[in-house]
């Protein structure tokens, strides 16, 4: 009888699963008007399993996940190859049998991912104005993520006023959080329950 493998740390699974959900949302938005085949969820799930690592924020995990995909696509495209990914436990089960159909197709996806990574890094460094950050979050992940970020800001501002910690400008206006703070719900989210997932495109 084979030994039972060690269980993966729950936090690792949770963060990787949340990053996977955001990446799927990003893909769906980018390909909303696309008529051809799009990057399948099973490929994204495969990379989420590879990228899982403890003690990472959601934003860092998402960047790590996207960068891993970008790297593999760039490597294959450089040598004129299509991305090839097989099921780790069954090589005959090829996840990339229908997508990508061409090098140009996989390069397009890598380009979308690069844009996402650049915007996330800019948010993390506080290089975006608050309104620009909201627009970037909405463009990448949809209104639901933006609403969550806005709710977090409202909660922080409200709590600051109640505790007399709210800062004001010289003209008396409320000093809003920086762009980095606005992105915090994405980069450092509150603990949430992850949906059970096999990482290979099927719900448990």
Tens-place pLDDT, residues 99-118 = 999 999 999 999 999 999 99
Q: Which residue has the higher pLDDT, 102 or 197?
A: 102
Residue extents of the structural domains in the chain: 10-187
> Is the entire prediction scored with pTM above 0.85?
no
Burial of 146 (0-12, 13-18, 19+ CB in 10 A): buried
Helices and strands counted in the chain (H then E)? 8, 2
What mean pLDDT do residues 48-56 have?
90
User: What is the C-alpha to C-alpha distance for residues 155 and 184, in angstroms, rounded to an integer?
Assistant: 13
Strand ranges for the chain from DSSP E = 86-87, 90-94
pLDDT on residue 32: 94
pLDDT in tens, 5-46: 555 444 445 888 888 999 999 999 999 999 999 999 999 999
Q: Which two tokens stand for residue 194?
A: 């992850």
Name, in order, each residue with C-beta under 8 angstroms of 67's C-beta and a sequence gap of 6 or more: 113, 117
What mean pLDDT do residues 137-161 have?
66
pLDDT on residue 165: 45
Q: Which two tokens stand for residue 203?
A: 């719900």
Give one DSSP letter per residue of 87-129, joined into a string: ETTEEEEETTSSS-SSHHHHHHHHHHHHHHHHHHHHHHTT-S-
Distances (CA, A) of 86 to 31, 92, 95, 150, 184: 24, 7, 5, 40, 35
């Amino acid at each position: 009888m084979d030994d039972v493998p060690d269980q993966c740390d729950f936090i690792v699974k949770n963060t990787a699963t949340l990053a996977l959900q955001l990446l799927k949302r990003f893909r769906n938005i980018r390909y909303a008007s696309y008529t051809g085949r799009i990057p399948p969820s099973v490929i994204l799930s495969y990379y989420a399993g590879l990228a899982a690592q403890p003690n990472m924020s959601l934003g860092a995990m998402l960047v790590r996940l996207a960068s891993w995909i970008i790297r593999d696509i760039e490597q294959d495209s450089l040598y004129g190859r299509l991305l090839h990914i097989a099921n780790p436990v069954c090589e005959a089960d090829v996840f990339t049998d229908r997508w990508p159909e061409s090098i140009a197709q996989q390069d397009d996806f890598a380009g979308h991912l690069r844009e996402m990574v650049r915007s996330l890094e800019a948010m993390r460094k506080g290089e975006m104005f608050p309104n620009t950050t909201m627009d970037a979050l909405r463009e990448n992940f949809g209104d639901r993520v933006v609403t969550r970020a806005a709710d977090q800001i409202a909660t922080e501002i409200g709590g600051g006023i109640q505790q007399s910690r709210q800062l004001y400008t010289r003209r008396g206006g409320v000093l809003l959080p920086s762009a980095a703070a606005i992105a915090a719900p994405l980069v450092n989210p509150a603990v949430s329950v992850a949906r059970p997932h096999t990482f290979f495109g099927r719900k448990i």
